[in-house]
Every structure is written in structure tokens, then in C-alpha cells.
Amino acid sequence: MRSKTFIFSILTILCAAAIFVVAFAYFRVHQEKTAEDTPERSYSRYYAMITDDPKSFFWQYVYQGASAAAEEKDTCVELFGSNLSFDYSPEELMEIAIASDVDGIMVCGGDSEEMDSLIDRAVDSGIPVVTMYSDNAASRRCSFVGVSAYNIGREYGRQIVRVREEMERQVGRGRAASNECSVTVFFDSSQLLYDQNVILSGIMDTLNRDAPGTHFTVKNMVVDDSNPFSVEEGIRDVFMEGTEPDILVCLSEMDTSCAYQAVVDFNLVGKVYILGYYDSEKILNAISRNVVFSTLAVDTGELGRYSVEALNEYIESGNTSEYFAADVTIIDRGNVSEYLHKEETDEKALQ
């Protein structure tokens, strides 16, 4: 028994040492990179930004917004993990940030007990934490910056009403007249069920208010979003039943891309309408080709800016708003060309 305890103690010490070594190496690389990019430049504060995929365009755009806001307060924001050769989990990056003794942390939470504990550890170490996009409400984070789930539901509800109007215009051009409209909303298994149910409530309230003359059959379907293959399989199951819905509502980029591909593969373009999420180049092109009806895009610049402002306010005054809501935008055929041009410009800026 004593030998097991000894071995466990040794492993714990080694793990802690490894974390400190990685933290020191990370901090050293950052200092060298900063010195190369901006010689003789020092900052009054240093914030760590931690996400589940630091190399994705979504988080790169959030980082751009955060960096621009940070510059106004002589602050440096570092997108943790983007300069490391190995992929570290958000929890591991939190360990590194705490060991590096940063001035503040912005983290895409996940409502896990481990992340709650790490956030509380950071706070105990004197490091304020803001959660972005996904919250850890049970932790002692000082603020959450995200989007209103109910408002997202209302926006989707408005788009469903628009699709219904489009369907009525198609009567006489191959579509049978009907007072029925079926809607399937894809829930992601990794996301909070409560938030997704709030989105569904926003959809139903909008439909009951704005389209009382139509009978909507709205159901949700949980999709395993642990990898693209399981998402694709789950969405294809909807079409394999032989009674595909009129409208698909997707709450993530991956769902949208898989739904788009399935509609094309099953030759259902123009028969099944897709309401997507996010403004990737693939989704924007699908809108321009009339495969996706519209998509909902989060203002990533606001998400980053509000996160920095929440940390600044907390450090300077000891208080900040518990919740900041970033705007969302609907992109459809009417304005997609504008966003395609912006996407091309932004991608060149990131390279």
C-alpha cells in the first residue's frame, strides 16, 4: 500500500513538473515571438485566450476582436495553443495559463466539473476568468460572454416563417399545397441541453405568434457530434426514413455542412430547406447556390471585444456585468455576396 502511495506521489510530482516546464517554455516562446514582432514593446497586462480549437477561423476572428480591444488598454492577448507543436486540451491549457501567472483568462468553457475546478483555481490564484461562448455557470468566473439562446431561437423562428412563405410561392411549380410544415431541429450531444431547449422555445414562441395559420410539426433530434462521421450518419438517418422534413435547423457549423451534403446526395435541393449556423466559406457558397436558405452568424469581433472589456472592468473596479451578449446576423441570398467578399479578405489577413 505504501509503495502504491509513493508511486502515485512521484507521478503527481512529475505531472506538476511537466506542466511547469511546458508553461515556462510556452511563456519563453511567447516572449521571444513578441520581441521579434514588436521590439522594445512591453504591455501592462497579459491575457490568455483558451479555446477548443485555436486554429479554427471562428476563434481566429474572435482573437482579432480581442486583440484590437486589448491594444486600447496596453494589453497583450495570447491565443494559447496556437504556437505549440502539440494539441493540448482546454483543461491542459488552463493549467499552463495558471502556472504562467497571467493577468486574466478568457476561456471557451464546457460546463464540466474539471473546467469548473480549474476556473476556481485560477480565481484563487488571483487570476480573473471570463467564459466565452460556452459557460461554466457553477464556477467563480467573473462574467460570461455569449449569445442569447432565446434570441437565436427567435431568429430561427423568423427564418422558418420566411421558408413557409417561400413554400407557398412554390405551389403550382411542383410543390403541393399544404397547411402543414415539418421542422427538425438538430441538437448536438456535446452542447448544453438546457440552452438548446431554450432555442427550441424561442422557435415555438415565434411560430405561434407570426404564423398562427400554419400547423408546424417541430421535433428535435440529438446528433452525436463527437466527430464528423457520426454527425453525417445521424443526419442521413433523417432522409433514410423516407419522410424527410420540410425544414432542417442546424445549431452548429458541422451540422450545417453535413445537412448540406446530405440534401445534395439525396437530390433534395429545393425540396428540403436548410437553416444553418456560422458563416464559413462552404456555407456561404451553399447559400449562393440556393442549397442553404440562410445561416445565423455570431459577431465574432464583439465576442472577443466584450471578453477583454469584461476582464479590464473587473481588474480595474472589482466588478463587471455577469453576462454580455454578442449580436447575431442572418445571412441569406440577399446579402451573401457581401459576406463572401469579407470572408476572402479576412482569410488573407489571417495568412
Q: Decide if 249 is inside a domain.
A: yes
Least confident of 174-188, 210-224, 310-324: 174-188
**Mode of pairing for the β-strands spanning 328-332 and 294-298:** antiparallel
Same domain, 164 and 99: no
At residue 254, the pLDDT reads: 92
Q: Decide if 345 is inside a domain.
A: no
Distance separating alpha carbons of residues 156 and 162, to the nearest angstrom:
10
**pLDDT surpassing 60 at residue 158:** yes
Least confident of 27-31, 48-52, 80-84, 170-174: 27-31
Q: Decide if 278 is inside a domain.
A: yes
Q: Decide if 277 is inside a domain.
A: yes
Q: Decide if 188 is inside a domain.
A: yes
Distance separating alpha carbons of residues 153 and 145, to the nearest angstrom:
18
Q: Choose among 301, 305, 186, 309: nearest CA to 253.
A: 186
CATH code: domain of residue 63? 3.40.50.2300
Same domain, 29 and 108: yes
Least confident of 94-103, 127-136, 235-244: 235-244
At residue 41, the pLDDT reads: 65
Domain count, the chain: 2
How far, rounded to the nearest angstrom, does the alpha carbon of residue 111 sit from its chain's CA centroid?
Answer: 14
Least confident of 43-47, 213-217, 241-245, 327-331: 241-245
Q: Decide if 113 is inside a domain.
A: yes
| Average pLDDT, rounded, for the chain | 86
Apex 217 CA angle, 215 and 222, nearest 5: 160
Same domain, 122 and 223: no
Same domain, 159 and 292: yes
Same domain, 42 and 161: no
Same domain, 135 and 165: no
Same domain, 183 and 128: no
Q: Which domain holds residue 200?
A: 149-298
Q: What is the pLDDT of residues 261-287, one digit of tens each?
A: 999 999 999 899 999 999 999 999 999
Least confident of 33-37, 152-156, 332-336: 33-37
Distance separating alpha carbons of residues 116 and 248, to the nearest angstrom:
34
Distance separating alpha carbons of residues 61 and 66, to the nearest angstrom:
9
At residue 255, the pLDDT reads: 94
Same domain, 234 and 112: no
Q: Decide if 351 is inside a domain.
A: no
Same domain, 126 and 252: no
At residue 168, the pLDDT reads: 87
Q: Decide if 47 is inside a domain.
A: yes
Same domain, 133 and 153: no
Distance separating alpha carbons of residues 148 and 165, to the nearest angstrom:
26
pTM (predicted TM-score): 0.80
